[in-house]
Chains A and B, each alone.
Chain A
């Protein structure tokens, strides 16, 4: 019976993972998946259209699309649900329709008033369609012009929402002009006509220049087309026309408008642009078979010159749909509860199930991180988002090792906490847009990213883990008699008949040792990087100082313990304070440049940081209850 339950839990975990691996399917006859896989270059990186659809929606709606639960994410006015790719198809090819979808978030009440909008008119009381916003655009633009000269940190809440909305509107407008001209009813027909009349038009232009008689209608048409293509070239967001020289030439990607402007020299509308116009035509007129055929042929053409881009795009689209970090966070929560229950009943079976869940989740995050590394061609940590993933990965990795030695589900419970916590942080960090970003010049060094950044972040992970283990100690010690129990599991620890409290103590101590090692080595490597590239080892810059403080703090814990200044409870308090130190170095320092120039400014993240610090202080206060008040130490 017990065994069956633990197997069932394992099975449930596997099911969650397995379900996310189902290949994405087309909602109708159109090969939307095939379209979503096509590569385009946006923000310096070749990526599938699917990623563009998701990240654009993320930025506009300020929420992530969930493949498993897609209800009511985007509703058309006739109450149809759309996937991100369907939405993007309408934006690209059927703009008038897309303008009616409520996807643009407007939260600020003053801004709503400015745009003459009522909260009730919006989807979920905050999302509005472009058509709703359009009338207020001139005023929005005026306000944005007023707000933009103000330094970003010094902007008021209103100004920041103005600037944010303005940039979202610009993004939307740029998306619309990416592949075809948004105001054309039949861009394919326009292009065919343009192509046919081009030679004669050019002749007429030459005649006009030379002062001879010429066909005025033809030249007018030509100039008109030139203006329209130029507009597209200026705005077009997706660089979707691949370079003629093939994969090696990243700088050769252009948007449709650029490619059309070239037509005036070449005399020939390029094949990709024609393909997009064809897709637009078939999409608007509902001809699924033709649409699918164009997608297939276009892809076939790309396979000649861009095999790597295509395979990466395919993989990235699968990765987007699988969302390994989302499933992993569910598993971490399950693991936490199973582990905690294992302290009450069936320690062996449930403990094992919890460890298995942690293992599956960890493997899933490992796979996710590896995929990101492969897509980006970079070491695991390149920005704040990936640092959150990695902090969790390293901490859970340690937990798995600890669980292997101790087999008492302490490490599994902590893994659940830390794993879920870091993935939650990562989720909030991902709301900014595409998390696979290009590296600024100064960071563009895989060697240092791979050594310094990874070690420093591993140091964060280890310090956090020590802090969270200490939290388990404090909570379980104050509220339950669990600390003084000797676990009955069959693990190696049982033979030595250590109490849970003693085991936790040696875990925390061991992890603090690792934390010291990583943070010290990482900080020093950072110094060497700085010396290599800037000629100075240490510059007292906030981020450097943050790393240094973690090193010092870990050194304090170790020395205080060696000097006998702290016993087990002191160790736990100091380790919990390590959470504060690390969170400050990780996030607080980044807010310094931002948050503190103007005291009025309080970013949402800053509040969360304060709340976290407050909660940790509360735990430390709790730990300082006199020992007889601790249930674990009551006589």
Chain B
């Protein structure tokens, strides 16, 4: 083996690297926790943990510069360090079994967290008592839905992710006889109705909607919010352009409740910006939302939602009770009680999809067992030595 290679190997198997990486990961976690005060939990995860480098903008510019290794980089190095050190020094012996177990568990944990970062999706499902639904909604992402509602028997939906609107790309979809062009996109905006006075009219030359209810609505861009209990309400002006020219400009926003309709080429379309949806192969009906408090206090004692779960094929048709610390696991999804407004009979469930959920359990068991074995051996040895004296 030549020197460079050996140095390379020694670097990756060294305990010194482990310690440095551990210190870096501690600093990362610490800084990220502080940053939550400003950024909110989601943005922090993207910025600090689900990234190779933590980027910060140069003051006064929008040029991002890496300022710290991100979660993926540190985690990746830790993984390489761990695996290579164990391969290099591997020796099967009872004395090392605890250490081996702990570290194998840790490797699994890191892989599990990586997969979670890649695969996990979270949605919300809001229900009123008596209401049924077969989809959940994202509370961070939105989509532009264009629905061909010509046939009363079914809808033909084209859903365009918000990200494409934000990028301003021209969207051409085989199901749509027109292109969708984003004229302007606001990640967060407030809407208000325009009065009829001249002062309320849009400034001449400014971008304005020409179709639907857009001309009557004023849009006021807002800064992005990172508060945990608030969401951003994007809005956009989109122009639809057919082969023989523009159909007009629509204002779309998830705050505009009803879809806006128009006819084109003998088809009826609805256009609206909505919370990104995830459809389920089953439907849920909220039967009863209950919110108990401890008497004489404001402290919530329990939230629970009695829900009826039905699949179209009729295989499942049962009632379930979802309450705190008791989620429903069904079809690879976990439904847990999130918010509750029993006075208005509404309940919000969080829906989580995480195919790698079992990995942490396995790794946990391994690590706990490993530590017990290792320190147990130390302890027994210590007590024996003491007793021998």
Closest to A554 in B: B22
Residues of A within 8 A of B97 (CB): none
Q: Which of B19, B37, B325 is in CB contact (< 8 Å) with A560?
A: B19
Q: When chains A and B are docked, how far (Å) is the Cα of A286 from the Cα of B29? A: 65
Asked if residues A448 and B375 are in contact (CB atoms below 8 Å), the reply is no
Residues of A within 8 A of B25 (CB): 552
Asked if residues B364 and A524 are in contact (CB atoms below 8 Å), the reply is yes
Chain B, residues 64-84, CB within 8 Å of chain A (1/0): the string is: 000000000000000000000
Q: When chains A and B are docked, how far (Å) is the Cα of A224 from the Cα of B326? A: 50
Whether B44 sits at the interface, judged by CB under 8 Å, is yes
Q: Which of A438, A445, A534, A538 is in CB contact (< 8 Å) with B350?
A: A534
Q: Which of B19, B297, B352 is in CB contact (< 8 Å) with A565?
A: B19
Within 8 A of A (CB), among B102-136: 112-113, 116, 120, 122
Whether B96 sits at the interface, judged by CB under 8 Å, is no
Whether A114 sits at the interface, judged by CB under 8 Å, is no
Q: Which of B33, B302, B361, B368 has the most CB of A within 10 A?
A: B33
Whether B264 sits at the interface, judged by CB under 8 Å, is no
Asked if residues A44 and B299 are in contact (CB atoms below 8 Å), the reply is yes
Count of residues in B whose CB is under 8 Å from the partner chain: 62
Residues of A within 8 A of B120 (CB): 536
Q: When chains A and B are docked, how far (Å) is the Cα of A513 from the Cα of B102? A: 13
Q: When chains A and B are docked, how far (Å) is the Cα of A514 from the Cα of B15? A: 21
Q: B interface, by DSSP: helix, strand, loop or mixed?
A: helix
Q: Which of A250, A496, A520 has the most CB of B within 10 A?
A: A520
Whether A171 sits at the interface, judged by CB under 8 Å, is no
Residues of B within 8 A of A541 (CB): 41
Residues of A within 8 A of B18 (CB): 559, 563
Within 8 A of B (CB), among A498-547: 510, 513-514, 516-517, 520-521, 524-525, 527-529, 531-542, 545-546
Given contacts A534-B336, A556-B22, A592-B33, contact A442 B15 (CB under 8 A): no
Residues of B within 8 A of A545 (CB): 29-30, 32-33
Whether A251 sits at the interface, judged by CB under 8 Å, is yes
Chain A, residues 432-461, CB within 8 Å of chain B (1/0): the string is: 000001111110110010000000000000
Given contacts A531-B357, A565-B15, contact A441 B116 (CB under 8 A): no
Whether A597 sits at the interface, judged by CB under 8 Å, is yes
Q: When chains A and B are docked, how far (Å) is the Cα of A490 from the Cα of B296? A: 59
Q: When chains A and B are docked, how far (Å) is the Cα of A250 from the Cα of B382? A: 52
Given contacts A537-B357, A540-B44, contact A596 B375 (CB under 8 A): no
Given contacts A41-B295, A438-B299, A524-B367, contact A532 B26 (CB under 8 A): no
Residues of A within 8 A of B44 (CB): 540
Residues of A within 8 A of B299 (CB): 43-44, 437-440
Asked if residues B378 and A524 are in contact (CB atoms below 8 Å), the reply is no
Residues of B within 8 A of A45 (CB): 294
Closest to B33 in A: A545
Within 8 A of A (CB), among B8-44: 14-16, 18-19, 22-23, 25-26, 29-30, 32-34, 36-37, 41, 44
Q: Shortest Cβ distance from A142 into chain B, in angstroms?
A: 24
Whether A117 sits at the interface, judged by CB under 8 Å, is no
Closest to A506 in B: B382
Residues of A within 8 A of B326 (CB): 533
Q: Shortest Cβ distance from B369 into chain A, in angstroms?
A: 10
Closest to A546 in B: B33
Q: When chains A and B are docked, how far (Å) is the Cα of A442 from the Cα of B45? A: 23
Whether A211 sits at the interface, judged by CB under 8 Å, is no
Residues of A within 8 A of B336 (CB): 533-535
Whether B389 sits at the interface, judged by CB under 8 Å, is yes
Residues of B within 8 A of A466 (CB): none
Whether B384 sits at the interface, judged by CB under 8 Å, is no
Residues of B within 8 A of A514 (CB): 375
Asked if residues A562 and B364 are in contact (CB atoms below 8 Å), the reply is no
Chain B, residues 352-389, CB within 8 Å of chain A (1/0): the string is: 10100100110010011001100100110011001001
Whether B224 sits at the interface, judged by CB under 8 Å, is no
Q: Shortest Cβ distance from A113 into chain B, in angstroms?
A: 33
Q: Shortest Cβ distance from B31 into chain A, in angstroms?
A: 10
Asked if residues A538 and B303 are in contact (CB atoms below 8 Å), the reply is no
Residues of A within 8 A of B378 (CB): 510, 513
Asked if residues B29 and A552 are in contact (CB atoms below 8 Å), the reply is yes
Q: Which of B22, B296, B301 is in CB contact (< 8 Å) with A444?
A: B301
Given A444-B302, A444-B324, A592-B36, output 16 extra A-B contacts at Cβ < 8 Å. Answer: A250-B295, A253-B295, A440-B299, A492-B386, A521-B368, A531-B357, A531-B361, A534-B327, A534-B334, A534-B336, A536-B120, A537-B357, A538-B116, A545-B30, A563-B19, A592-B37
Q: Point out residues on B near A: beta carbons under 8 Å.
A: 14-16, 18-19, 22-23, 25-26, 29-30, 32-34, 36-37, 41, 44-45, 49, 112-113, 116, 120, 122, 294-297, 299-303, 323-327, 329, 334-336, 350-352, 354, 357, 360-361, 364, 367-368, 371-372, 375, 378-379, 382-383, 386, 389
A-B contact pairs, 13 of them (CB 8 A): A43-B296, A239-B295, A405-B386, A441-B302, A441-B324, A448-B325, A496-B389, A510-B382, A534-B352, A539-B41, A540-B32, A545-B32, A552-B26
Considering the complex of A and B, which 5 residue pairs feature the smallest CB-CB distances, nearest first? A44-B294, A535-B334, A563-B15, A535-B352, A524-B364
